């Protein structure tokens, strides 16, 4: 099996092919000794073609895992707290519950100050080239997921209606994914008939009106 050093190098090279050069970060606080050897967060600078910073886990997974997820988040600003956030998510993945596409994670705080988004959703990296999502690291496959900051209402909607219905809401609402202050695409107190996928995919006002009729 591929060595740990080779595994980490393969992830770094994969990211580099997609996004260019990076800075390697390590969060020094908390139970970091419980993370896999060599875990780090890679920070990619914004460019004219990609007008946001990208922070990505490197080594959240291990070659011997059954599933091997890594994740990244997009930010309009550089902020060291994002390194902390991804480190906590990596710790959660190793010690509490293994993560995959469609899972949500409670950040325990806004992802950046004054944001309404205090959860993260692991989704397919639709904005990037298809080659990003899967990496063959010496014969084992690594899955790269996009961590999208979401609101409490969107988290609850995902739990009750499912990922597909939430992604339809994002698409219909023109999700401004890197906007710290974006409004929720699901309104507080919204009533949705979760047995009817057509209602789940409607705009909030339509879903409420039909569900109350």
What are the extents of the domains in the chain?
1-150, 152-213
The confidence score (pLDDT) of residue 192 equals 53
**Mean predicted confidence (pLDDT) in 1-24:** 97
Q: Is the pTM of this model over 0.95?
A: no
26 phi and psi angles, rounded to 5 deg: -140, 130
Q: Is the pLDDT of residue 150 over 90?
A: yes
Q: Give the model's confidence band at 49: pLDDT under 50 very low, under 70 low, under 90 confident, else very high.
A: confident
Q: Give the model's confidence band at 201: pLDDT under 50 very low, under 70 low, under 90 confident, else very high.
A: very low
Strand, coil or helix: 83? helix
Question: Beta strands 53-58 and 69-75: pairing type?
Answer: antiparallel
Question: Beta strands 23-25 and 40-44: pairing type?
Answer: antiparallel
> Which of 39-43, 101-105, 157-161, 197-201 has the weakest average pLDDT?
197-201
The confidence score (pLDDT) of residue 178 equals 83
Neighbouring residues of 121: CB distance < 8 A, sequence distance ≥ 6:
102, 103, 104, 147, 148, 150, 154, 155, 158, 163, 166
Separation of alpha carbons 165 and 154, rounded Å: 10
44 neighbors 54 (Cβ within 8 angstroms)? yes
- Joined together, the tokens standing for residue 34 give 């419980």
The confidence score (pLDDT) of residue 191 equals 46
**Mean predicted confidence (pLDDT) in 158-162:** 93
Q: Could you tell me which residues are beta bridge partners of residue 147? A: 122
Q: Is the pLDDT of residue 194 over 70?
A: no
Return the number of other C-beta atoms located less than 10 Å from residue 181's C-beta: 10
Return the number of other C-beta atoms located less than 10 Å from residue 58's C-beta: 25
Question: Beta strands 69-75 and 140-150: pairing type?
Answer: parallel
Count CA atoms within 13 Å of residue 175 on its CB side: 18
Q: Is the pLDDT of residue 189 over 60?
A: yes
The confidence score (pLDDT) of residue 209 equals 27
């Amino acid at each position: 099996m591929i060595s740990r050093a080779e595994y980490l190098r393969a992830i770094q090279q994969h990211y580099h092919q997609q996004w260019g050069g990076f800075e390697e970060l390590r969060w020094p606080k908390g139970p970091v000794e419980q993370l896999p050897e060599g875990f780090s967060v890679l920070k990619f600078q914004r460019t004219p073609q990609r007008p946001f910073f990208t922070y990505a886990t490197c080594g959240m997974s291990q070659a011997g895992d059954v599933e091997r997820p890594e994740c990244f988040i997009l930010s309009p600003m550089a902020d060291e707290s994002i390194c902390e956030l991804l480190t906590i998510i990596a710790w959660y993945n190793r010690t509490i519950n293994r993560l995959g596409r469609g899972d949500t994670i409670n950040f325990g705080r806004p992802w950046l100050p004054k944001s309404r988004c205090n959860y993260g959703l692991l989704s397919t990296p639709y904005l990037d080239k298809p080659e990003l999502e899967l990496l063959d690291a010496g014969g084992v496959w690594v899955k790269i997921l996009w961590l999208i900051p979401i609101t409490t209402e969107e988290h609850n909607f995902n739990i009750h209606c499912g990922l597909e219905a939430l992604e339809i809401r994002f698409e219909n609402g023109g999700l401004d994914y890197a906007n710290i202050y974006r409004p929720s695409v699901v309104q507080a107190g919204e009533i949705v008939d979760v047995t009817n996928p057509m209602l789940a995919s409607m705009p909030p006002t339509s879903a409420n009106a039909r569900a109350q009729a």
